């Protein structure tokens, strides 16, 4: 959410930013905000003047009564009562105006960084850099669920009977691999100086609207019936929410946290073949990283965060690339975002396994996360988040890139201690 003062002083910049995000239907909202803001300030000025005048003339009542000027005192009382009625009327209108103003401000997109490429959707995202050499082996790579089934490692049919489509049972060595990746990612981030955290998996509505746009909320979040609680779609929601209504001492910044959680998402709409299996699902687990920092430090932390994900995937022998998200692909609160994509030997292309975002002060403004700086100066923090690893999707890349011609899967040396020293996952007898 933008600062109303910024919108007031820079309406054309705000409108051009809306055009750059191809959301022309929101252009009229800027003029509506300016109109409401003008009315709101006029109301405040009139209320302030009325209160000052009322206080002034109220003092006259006692003096007039003391002088025996009862009739004059009664006339002054009428003026005080009239002022009170007008103040009450204006205050009611002020509340309505501020509620409408906030509602509109919540849907006007954040100002994107000047470095963000302009484009309508994810088809116009721009490749930045590749890490590792993509390899296509001289043998056929099966679909990821077929690989898992060869190890008796997944049961989708039972999951459908229990919970419906979009769920799974992971079994045996694949389930162990899933947990090993999460544990490895946890320690990887701890070794990089992040504090490990397990957050609440449900959050209240004021936190939801503080960390994401209404469009994202509708598309992603599951609401708990009869309660003001939502299941989290990522632990970033809980982790940023941890600082709601807080004034953080500047000397305690940056706050660098890495968190584990299950994640729950609606994932609306039909999906193609490559998004079946465990690619796009309603429930998964993830290791996340978030940073709360000073505004001037957020660009530096942005680069550190996506580099962490790249380094983790490379340590597991998975080639990756970074992709700069274009203006039309950025969620409304984001200033800048980079996707990390892993190489799929089967598809002979990259696919998304993580997303790193700088949200500037947008979440901090919504959640009132402030920093107590020098000489008591208070300012809004900047917040950032990035996926360390989300195993169900990451497992696809892991299995494809470490698959051998005989159907076994190599376990990279860095992961072997988390797999009990296992160097390979072998096919179960009876599976071809």
H-type helices in 200-320, by residue range?
A: 205-211, 214-220, 235-241, 298-315
In a domain, 113, yes or no: no
In a domain, 430, yes or no: no
Q: What angle do CA 171, 172, 178 make, to 5 degrees?
A: 75
In a domain, 151, yes or no: yes
* Alpha-carbon span 198 to 259, nearest angstrom: 6
DSSP state of 129: E
pLDDT at 136: 94
Q: Are 318 and 415 in contact (CB under 8 A)?
A: no
3-state secondary structure of 155: strand
- In degrees rounded to 5, what are phi and psi of residue 402? -115, 10
List, in order, residues 6 or more apart from 327 with CB less than 8 Å away: 20, 21, 22, 112, 116, 117, 118, 119
Identify whether residues 199 and 51 lie together within a single domain.
no
- Residue ending a domain, choose from 60, 75, 105: 105
H-type helices in 106-229, by residue range?
A: 144-150, 156-163, 172-190, 205-211, 214-220
Identify whether residues 246 and 130 lie together within a single domain.
yes
**What is the pTM for the complete model shown?**
0.89
Identify whether residues 419 and 305 lie together within a single domain.
yes
Question: Given the DSSP bridges, would you call strands 230-231 and 424-425 parallel, antiparallel or unpaired?
Answer: unpaired
How many domains does the chain fold into?
2
CA distances 346 to 130, 148, 149, 177, 389, Å, are: 18, 15, 17, 20, 21
Identify whether residues 201 and 226 lie together within a single domain.
yes
Identify whether residues 295 and 204 lie together within a single domain.
yes
Q: Are 401 and 343 in contact (CB under 8 A)?
A: yes
* Alpha-carbon span 174 to 260, nearest angstrom: 19
Identify whether residues 101 and 130 lie together within a single domain.
no
> Which residue from 242, 238, 195, 247 is spatially nearest to 379, judged by alpha carbons?
247
> Which residue from 354, 361, 357 is spatially nearest to 330, judged by alpha carbons?
357
In a domain, 116, yes or no: no
List, in order, residues 6 or more apart from 194 with CB less than 8 Å away: 256, 257, 258, 289
pLDDT at 268: 59
Identify whether residues 63 and 144 lie together within a single domain.
no
- Residue ending a domain, choose from 105, 132, 156: 105
Cis peptide before 254 (omega within 30 of 0): yes
Question: Which tokens belong to 43?
Answer: 């109301």
Within 10 A of 314 (CB to CB), how many other CB atoms are there? 13
How many residues appear in the chain?
A: 432
pLDDT (tens, 9 = 90+) of the chain, 432 residues, equals: 899 999 999 999 999 999 999 999 999 999 999 999 999 999 999 888 888 877 776 666 666 666 677 777 667 677 777 778 888 889 999 999 999 999 999 999 999 999 999 999 999 999 999 999 999 999 999 999 999 999 999 999 999 999 988 899 999 999 999 999 999 999 999 999 999 999 999 999 999 999 988 778 878 899 999 999 999 999 999 999 999 999 999 999 999 999 999 999 987 554 444 446 787 889 999 999 999 999 999 999 999 999 999 999 999 999 999 999 999 999 999 999 999 999 999 999 999 999 999 999 999 999 999 999 988 999 999 999 999 999 888 999 999 999 999 999 999 999 999 999 999 999 876 554
Identify whether residues 230 and 272 lie together within a single domain.
yes
pLDDT at 275: 45
Identify whether residues 177 and 221 lie together within a single domain.
yes
* Alpha-carbon span 109 to 329, nearest angstrom: 12
- pLDDT over 90 for what percent of the chain? 80
The CATH number of residue 93's host domain is 1.10.287.40
* Alpha-carbon span 86 to 80, nearest angstrom: 10
In a domain, 367, yes or no: yes
Identify whether residues 131 and 190 lie together within a single domain.
yes
In a domain, 431, yes or no: no
CA distances 176 to 276, 281, 387, 388, 415, Å, are: 22, 19, 21, 18, 11
pLDDT at 270: 44
**Domain residue limits at 23:** 4-105
Identify whether residues 66 and 140 lie together within a single domain.
no
In a domain, 112, yes or no: no
The CATH number of residue 234's host domain is 3.30.930.10
Identify whether residues 210 and 99 lie together within a single domain.
no
- Residue ending a domain, choose from 105, 136, 161: 105
* Alpha-carbon span 360 to 365, nearest angstrom: 10
Residue with tokens 């990089």: 192
Residue with tokens 């203006």: 327
pLDDT at 378: 96
Where does residue 351 rank: exposed (0-12), middle (13-18), buried (19+ CB within 10 A)? middle
Question: 355-381 as b/e, with b when 16 or more CB fall inside 10 Å?
Answer: bbbbbbbbbbbbbebbbbeeeeeeebb
């Amino acid at each position: 959410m933008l600062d109303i003062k910024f919108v007031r002083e820079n309406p054309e910049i705000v409108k051009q930013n809306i055009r750059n995000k191809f959301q022309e239907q929101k252009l009229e909202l800027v003029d509506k905000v300016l109109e409401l803001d003008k009315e709101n300030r006029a109301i405040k000025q009139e209320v302030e003047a009325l209160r000052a005048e009322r206080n002034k003339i109220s003092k006259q009542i006692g003096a007039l009564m003391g002088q025996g000027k009862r009739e004059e005192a009664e006339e002054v009382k009428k003026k005080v009562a009239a002022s009170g009625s007008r103040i009450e009327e204006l205050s009611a209108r002020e509340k309505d105006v501020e509620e409408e103003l906030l509602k509109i401000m919540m849907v006007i997109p954040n100002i994107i960084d000047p470095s963000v490429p302009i484009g309508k959707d994810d088809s116009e995202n721009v490749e930045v850099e590749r890490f590792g050499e993509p390899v296509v082996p001289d043998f056929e790579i099966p679909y990821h669920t077929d690989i898992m089934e060869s190890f008796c490692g997944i049961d989708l049919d039972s999951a459908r009977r229990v919970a419906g489509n979009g769920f799974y049972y992971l079994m045996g060595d694949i389930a162990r691999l899933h947990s090993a990746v999460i544990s490895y990612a946890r320690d990887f981030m701890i070794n990089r100086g992040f504090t490990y955290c397990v957050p609440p998996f449900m959050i209240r509505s004021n936190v939801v609207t503080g960390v994401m746009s209404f469009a994202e909320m509708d598309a992603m979040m599951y609401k708990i019936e009869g309660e003001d609680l939502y299941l989290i779609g990522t632990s970033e929601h809980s982790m940023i929410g941890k600082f709601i209504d807080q004034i953080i001492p500047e000397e305690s910044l940056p706050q660098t946290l890495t968190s584990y959680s299950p994640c729950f998402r609606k994932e609306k709409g039909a999906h193609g073949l490559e998004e079946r299996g465990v690619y796009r699902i309603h429930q998964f687990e993830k290791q996340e990283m978030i940073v709360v920092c000073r505004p001037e430090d957020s660009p530096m932390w942005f680069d550190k965060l996506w580099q962490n994900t790249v380094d983790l995937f490379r340590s597991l022998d998975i080639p990756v690339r970074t992709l700069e998200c274009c203006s039309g692909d950025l969620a409304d609160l984001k200033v800048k975002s980079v996707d990390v994509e892993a190489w799929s030997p089967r598809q002979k292309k990259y696919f998304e396994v993580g997303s790193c975002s700088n949200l500037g002060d947008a979440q901090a403004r919504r959640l009132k996360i402030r920093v107590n700086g020098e000489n008591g100066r208070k300012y809004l923090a900047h917040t950032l988040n990035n996926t360390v690893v989300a195993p169900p999707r990451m497992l696809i890349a892991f299995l494809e890139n470490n698959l051998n011609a005989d159907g076994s899967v190599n376990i990279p040396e860095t992961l072997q201690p988390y797999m009990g020293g296992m160097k390979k996952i072998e096919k179960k007898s009876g599976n071809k």
